[in-house]
Structure 1
Amino acid sequence: MTMDTHAPLSRPDARADAPARPELLVLSGLSHSYGGVRALHDIDLTIGDNEFFALLGPSGCGKTTLLRSIAGFETPESGTIALDGVDLVSTPAHKRPVNMMFQSYALFPHLSVERNVAYGLEAEGLGKAEVKRRVGEAIETVGLGAFARRRPSQLSGGQRQRVALARAIVKRPRLLLLDEPLSALDRKVRADMQLELKRLQHEVGMTFVVVTHDQEEAMSMADRVAVLDAGRVEQLDTPVGLYSNPRTRFVAEFIGSSSLFDGTATAGGVDVAGLAELPAAHTLPVGSAVTLVVRPEDIEVVAPGGAGLLEGVVIDTYFLGGSSTVSVAVPGREKPVGCTVHATSTARRGDTVGLRIDHARSVVVADTRPVSHGGTESA
């Protein structure tokens, strides 16, 4: 697992690299390539029993390859996939105690809801009474009891997703894999289903592993999240830990919004060329290339002219209901600095303002990019 050699000082939020619950799935040294292109680089992960775990990252980061390897649809070049201590790499997909819910849901259009859900159990040769009982329980669990006789074409997108979930859980797998399960839903239905998935996972007492590129989806549902980039695990943590204590520049940029100040580590902070030396606590070597990560809620908009302040000109404000986002152009930076202000901001476009950074909440990470640094990056 790829980590910074020198981690930033932690905030009070607890990290969770290892599950507090008993381990269920252990991936060790997992690597895979496609035509000479490395998709997975020596992946090590441990997933706990009854855990909701997310694999998060941009397109092409390797998360779907990892999920398909666990399911048995891909055979990794090296490494082990142990479920309850038993290596599954040589076990075919249909013999693994694992079920997978595909992005397309893959429902049979000519079958009713209850027949779709019953299909896997009937294929196993279970008795009619047992199939009926388990199908009824699964359909009620996902809230579709009144729709049991309908066909997929008579259901909404959210209802079809529930049918796919019922079909996945009715076989009672030890592990349920979900590949971008909410991507086909509109924003409101997606938000409702995020809560529904979490409720369902608790209710059935099953381990869920979900693949997604949507950070809001991962952060709202998962107990822990593995952030992947270029086939490597950049960071494994709780949602709060990822946001509060990013350990690489990629994670800081990918998770949430932040202003990134690239510069050189000093004994008391980060020297940002063309701007200032910004104070921050860290343990990185003096003189090394680093990035100071500042979240928008940790920057206060104040009157200009005070000591220790950055100054800039307001270029826009966005009212978001309970808060406003103020965008400030700071001389020496290519991109504006974003600040979150509670309720309505009094700052107006064209105003010169001061920016006070809460240095106690800033995080410093190593900047491993093979480029020169000018303090101009912001995300």
Structure 2
Amino acid sequence: MTAEPLLRVDGVRAVYGDTVALHDVSLDIAHNEFFALLGPSGCGKTTLLRSIAGFETPAAGRITVDGIDLLSLPAHRRPVNMMFQSYALFPHLSVERNIGYGLEAEGLGRAEIRTRVGEVMEVVRLGHLAKRRPAQLSGGQRQRVALARAIVKRPKLLLLDEPLSALDRQVRASMQLELKRLQHEVGLTFVVVTHDQEEAMSMADRIAVLNEGRLEQLASPQELYADPGSRFVAAFIGTANLLDGEATADGVAVPGLGEVRAGHALAAGSPATAVIRPEDVVAGDDVSGGLRGTVVDTYFLGGASTISIDVPGLPAPVLASVHGATRLVRGAEVGVAFGRATAVPRDPSEPPSFGTTVPTTAIPVDEVQDVSA
């Protein structure tokens, strides 16, 4: 028997004037799950989060937590808490007073407040900073104070709105691991809104990808990457080669390239896209039996390099991933072969094209030397 979800969003529709921000979105979130709402700016993810919190009122639909109708309750009476992007700490209060402020407002006794604040400070590793003010803390420490203040009230559900966006890249990476650790230790359900795919993929158990107010796909990070349900998800999640064409019995027929064998059979003749991740592209001077091309750029990523290859007959370069350092420098002639591909439906109103999503963390270089030499 399947356990009942903690949070249920059923047919939620949000409208601002003539703009529909959410188109009848439905999803379930389990107890003790780390769940992410992911999508570009304006996709509706923050509207959905604010509707759960009680700061927005949907035009239609239901939102329940443990069967309780949230839409019938004001924000302050809902069994949820929200951690804001700005952290909203009181500058004149110490760390421990900031964390315990909500408990003081509820009228709890001093002994219980002291006990609960002490417990949560140890969980977020702030016990040694109890007497400091927010101005005396680093960005990561302020983020943990805001998180502690949210979880000390023991809500059923914790909502986090772009919680790491104010941190620099190195601190953000460490806090991704910290948030995951805290979520497991405190045993709460976390729902985080982010536009950062790397952030969502590294932290979440499941991800809901939204686009223009619609739920594109809800799945684990692994499934979203390996088996995207739409061309949008394939392009938005990770780096990909997107080859548009028509579905065949065994894959996708791509103009100027021929048939690319791919999983997920679609109706033959229907508009389709073959999605090929860079790690599923084999490139090298010893690759035979496939295409030939010229290396036009190298993106060095530390543990691997992504090379961009100009293949005659294709309107855009092919991206291939090479582990470690590479001798495939600009101008090198290489063979190219495709491995695993996934076929996804394509909007018939859009003309066929060929595109790639370039790695956002890559460093383009004219030439990458083989550091192993």
Shift of 1:221: 0.6
Q: How does 1:90-239 map to 2 (within 5 A)?
A: 90-239=72-221
State the shift of 1:349 in Å: 1.6
Aligned-pair CA distance for 1:280: 2.3
Structure 2 Cα separation of the partners of residues 153 and 282 of structure 1: 54
2:261–2:341 Cα contact (<8 Å) kept: no
User: SS state of the match for residue 126, structure 1?
Assistant: coil
Partner of 2:342: 363
| Residue of structure 2 equivalent to 1:267 | 249
Among residues 304, 315, 327, which one is paired with 2:308 in the alignment?
Answer: 327
| Kept after mapping to 2: 8 A contact 1:275/1:331 | no
**Alignment partner of 2:99: what SS?**
helix
- 2 CA distance for matches of 1:30 and 1:325? 41
Contact 2:287–2:337 (8 Å) recurs in 1: no
Secondary structure in 2 matching 1:89: helix
- After superposition, the Cα gap between the structure-2 partners of 1:185 and 1:175, relative to the gap in structure 1 and judged at 3 Å, is same
1:317 alignment counterpart: 298
Question: In the TM superposition, what is the alpha-carbon distance from 1:334 to its structure 2 partner?
Answer: 2.6
Q: How many angstroms does 1:324 deviate by?
A: 1.8
1:67 corresponds to 2:46:
no
Matched, 1:376 2:358: no
1:220-266 superposed Cα distances (whole Å, 9 cap, x missing partner): 11110000000111010001111000010000000000100000112
Q: Which amino acid aligns with 1:253?
A: A
Deviations 1:151-181 (A, max 9, x none): 1001000000010001000000000000000
Does the 8 Å CA contact 1:327/1:336 hold for their aligned counterparts? yes
Letter in 1 for 2:349: P
Could you tell me which residue of structure 1 aligns to residue 331 of structure 2? 350
Q: Of the two structures, which has the highest relative contact order with CA contacts closer than 8 Å and spacing of 6 or more? A: 1
Q: Is the 8 A contact 1:30 1:76 kept in 2?
A: yes
Alignment-mate amino acid for residue 376 of structure 1 = F
Task: Answer whether contact 2:234 2:275 (CA < 8 A) is retained.
Answer: yes
Q: 1:53 is matched with which residue?
A: 35
Give per-residue Cα distances to partners, 1:124-153, cap 9 Å, x unaligned.
Answer: 010111111111111111111011111100
Task: Quote the offset at 1:369 in angstroms.
Answer: 5.4
How far 1:370 moved relative to its partner?
2.0
**SS at structure 2 position matched to 1:109:** coil
Distance in 2 separating the partners of 1:175 and 1:247: 28
Which stretch of the first structure deviates more once superposed, 95-104 or 326-335? 326-335
Percent same amino acid at aligned positions? Answer: 64
Distance 2:282 2:267 in 1: 29
Partner of 1:12: none
Are residues 1:240 and 2:209 paired?
Answer: no
Counting matched residue pairs gives 357
Q: Measured at CA, do residues 20 and 301 of structure 1 come closer, stay the same or move farther in structure 2, by a change above 3 Å?
A: farther
Please show how residues 277-292 of structure 1 align to structure 2 within 5 Å: 277-292=259-274
Q: Contact (CA 8 Å) 1:117, 1:166: kept in 2 or not?
A: yes
Task: Answer yes or no: is the 8 Å Cα contact 1:222–1:239 preserved in 2.
Answer: yes
In the alignment, is the contact (CA less than 8 A) between 2:239 and 2:356 conserved in 1?
no
Q: Which runs of 5+ in 2 are unaligned?
A: 358-373
Question: TM-score, normalised to structure 2's length?
Answer: 0.93
| Contact 2:79–2:155 under 8 Å retained in 1 | yes
Alpha-carbon distance in structure 2 between the residues aligned to 1:173 and 1:92:
15
Task: Provide the rounded CA distance (Å) in 2 between the counterparts of 1:91 and 1:264.
Answer: 50
Contact 1:20–1:48 (Cα < 8 Å) also in 2: no
Question: Structure 1 residue 304: deviation in Å?
Answer: 7.2
Give the letter for the 1:68 counterpart. Answer: R
